Amino acid sequence: MSMNLPPRQRTASFDVDAQNTFTPVCPEELPVPGGTEIVAELNAQAAYASLRVGSKDAHSPKAIWVADEEHPQFSPVAGENVDIRWNRHAEPGTVGFQLIDGLPPITDYDHFVWKGVEPEMHPYGACYHDFAEKMSTGVIEFLTSRTITTVVVGGLATDYCVKTTVLQLRRAGFDVVVNLGACRGIAPETVDTAIDEMRQAGVRFVDTAAELINETD
């Protein structure tokens, strides 16, 4: 089943947190099953867009949300811009921080977001640095300035950073298409819940980039 997109000049492709840290390449961090399998689909969906944007987690090993023996992963942590503890991940200079092999170099993207740099902040969405969504990362403004109306999204993980980014884009007024072939999630239950939440927000879905078709002017 095909899905129509506007012409390429009004369409952008978004690679959300497509980093080794969320793949089996880094088993001690936050590996998502099949995380490395999204590269071909991310590259394929970019062919339907005039702009390719991306995001990365960029975290300090001293972040207040880092799990340890006394405070295991998923336990709550207090703070305005944190919620639960996570294993150390996506630290600049490590293999986990790098984009998955086969994706373009950072300098080939048209706009890029590094998020979670502050030790007291752990945002999930790529559009805002803070939970209150008052501190923009600039990606919404960038897309708007380039007259983008539709964003095709893929990345890791479906049930966390992809979902949050997609919902932020919807609230900003963009038509959003999620390419499920370019996403992987942490658990089937939370992925299903995330898809339902995104669908209720008006998000459209395709199974692969091959279902996308650009309209002509």
CATH code given to domain 3-55+99-111+122-209: 3.40.50.850
pLDDT tens digits, 140-154: 999 999 999 999 999
**pLDDT(217) > 60:** no
**pLDDT(2) > 90:** no
**pLDDT(1) > 60:** yes
162-190: average pLDDT: 97
Query: Alpha-carbon distance 2 to 74, whole Å?
Result: 39
Which residues partner with 111 through β-bridges? 53
**pLDDT(216) > 90:** no
Query: Alpha-carbon distance 61 to 215, whole Å?
Result: 46
Question: HSE-up of 15 (CA within 13 Å, CB side)?
Answer: 31
Question: Looking at residue 42, what is its pLDDT?
Answer: 98
Domains of the chain, by residue range, sit at 3-55+99-111+122-209
Q: What is the CA 19 to chain-centroid distance, rounded? A: 10
Question: Looking at residue 168, what is its pLDDT?
Answer: 98
190-215: average pLDDT: 97
Question: Looking at residue 192, what is its pLDDT?
Answer: 97
**Residue where the block lists tokens 């006394």:** 70
Share of the chain above pLDDT 90, in %: 97
61 φ, ψ to 5°?
-65, -15
Using alpha carbons, list the distances in angstroms from residue 191 to 185, 188, 194, 196, 201.
Answer: 6, 5, 5, 9, 15
pLDDT tens digits, 51-61: 999 999 999 99
Question: Looking at residue 63, what is its pLDDT?
Answer: 98
Token pair of 12 as six digits? 């952008």
Q: Which segments of the chain does DSSP mark as H helices, in order?
A: 39-46, 139-145, 163-171, 188-200
Residues 6+ apart with CB under 8 A from 73: 67, 84, 85, 86, 87
Mean pLDDT, the chain, whole residue set:
97
Query: Alpha-carbon distance 137 to 159, whole Å?
Result: 21
CB 97 within 8 Å of CB 116: no
Helices (H) and strands (E) in the chain, counts: 4, 8
pLDDT tens digits, 86-95: 999 999 999 9
pLDDT tens digits, 192-201: 999 999 999 9
